[in-house]
Amino acid sequence: MPNIKVFSGSSHPDLAQKICDRLGINHANVVAQKFANGETNVEIRESVRGEDVYIVQSGCGEVNDNLMELLIMINACKIASAERVTAVIPVYPYSRQDKKDKSRAPISAKLVANMLSVAGADHIITMDLHASQIQGFFDIPVDNLYAEPAVVKWIKENIPEWKTAIVVSPDAGGAKRVTSIADRLNIDFALIHKERKIANEVASMVLVGDAKGKVAILIDDMADTCGTIVQAAQKLVEDGATMIYAILTHGIFSGEAIARINSSCFEAVVVTNTIPQDKNMMLCSKIQVIDVSMMFAEAVRRTHNGESVSYLFENVPY
């Protein structure tokens, strides 16, 4: 593909490599290092003048360092006369801080959007934003890809009793996502209402819907400490569900998450590879991964060729 350069940040080189393999190109040469005092230094080691540049950097691991590295890479390409710079951000950093839920709370997702724009990004490609309104924080085009087609495909291929299963949202916020998947599979859905006293800790849960004697599939956009989904699974067992799967787009798995999953009643916890999962899979046999690199590669290819990306909202490219 002429005039296209794909650079990888240091957060997820494996995904960037898969995207390049799918596109049939080599990934462009960039070196990101840290100075002795911890400042980030980026060297773009090939010409980007007049090129269509894509920078793949996920908001995971050392989130702040990776975000800063992305901003510096965008700026370096921009002032080196790149025609267009697209940030491919599989996991958007700070996406949970998207509203003032209490007085004096920051709206950091908007701040990150401003930083990306000021750095010189012309276009953003991301996946399953925590709230799709985050697209409105930008004045540049944002393509928010959905993991949903890949999730539906996984359910049909890996859960034998999917036709009688029930999809469950662990909170009211994910109801829209769950109803959409339930419609596509033509099965029932339920949701769990939870009350939080303090952030990251759930107080009580109520299941709205009937899971008795069914396979339950919990679906959410991200799992961080996994407190919510493990408690939701417990609640489903109490309400008579026979088997429980969890399907999450972004498996952050921080703190006690892995230990919680290991001691939980899940058959499988399925995540996409928007975040590297190799270490987690070694520590926990229940974690399985859906590869979404082809969706990003296809989005990059379509954007580069000026084609519509909306095909990817409904279908998995083969």
pLDDT given for residue 70 in this prediction: 98
Strand pairing report for 166-169 and 142-145: unpaired
pLDDT at 201 over 80: no
Q: Does residue 25 have a pLDDT over 90?
A: yes
Nearest residue to 228 via CA among 288, 289, 277, 269 = 269
What does pTM read for this prediction? 0.94
Check pLDDT > 80 for residue 61: yes
pLDDT in tens, 251-277: 999 999 999 999 999 999 999 999 999
Quick: pLDDT tens for 293-304: 999 999 999 999
Q: Report how far residue 218's alpha carbon sits from residue 289's, in angstroms, rounded to the nearest whole number.
A: 15
> What pLDDT, on a 0 to 100 scale, did the predictor assign at position 19?
97
Amino acid 194: pLDDT: 76
Q: Which amino acid is at 199?
A: A
**Do the beta carbons of residue 281 and residue 303 sit within 8 Å?**
no
**Contact criterion met (CB below 8 Å) for 86 and 116:** no
Give percent above pLDDT 70 in the chain. 97
Looking at residue 171, what is its pLDDT?
A: 87
Three-state SS across the chain? CCCEEEEECCCCHHHHHHHHHHHCCCCCCEEEEECCCCCEEEEECCCCCCCEEEEECCCCCCHHHHHHHHHHHHHHHHHCCCCEEEEEECCCCCCCCCCCCCCCCCCHHHHHHHHHHHHCCCEEEEECCCCHHHHHHCCCCEEEECCHHHHHHHHHHHCCCHHHCEEEECCHHHHHHHHHHHHHHCCEEEEEEEEEEECCEEEEEEEECCCCCCEEEEEEEEECCCHHHHHHHHHHHHCCCCEEEEEEEEECCCCCHHHHHHCCCCCEEEEECCCCCHHHHHHCCCEEEECCHHHHHHHHHHHHHCCCCHHHHCCCCC
Q: Does the pLDDT of residue 202 top 70, yes or no?
A: no
- Give the whole-angstrom CA distance, residue 200 versus residue 13: 30
Mean pLDDT of 284-290: 96
The overall average pLDDT reported for the chain is: 94
**Overall average pLDDT of the 192-202 stretch:** 73
Q: What is the identity of the amino acid at 257? A: A
Over residues 38-48, the pLDDT tens digits come to 999 999 999 99
pLDDT at site 284: 94
Tens digits of per-residue pLDDT, 1-19?
A: 679 999 999 999 999 999 9
User: Which pLDDT does position 196 carry in this prediction?
Assistant: 67
Question: Average pLDDT for residues 236-249, to the nearest whole number?
Answer: 95
Question: Each residue of 68-85: pLDDT tens digit?
Answer: 999 999 999 999 999 999
21 Cβ neighbours under 8 A, 6+ residues apart: none
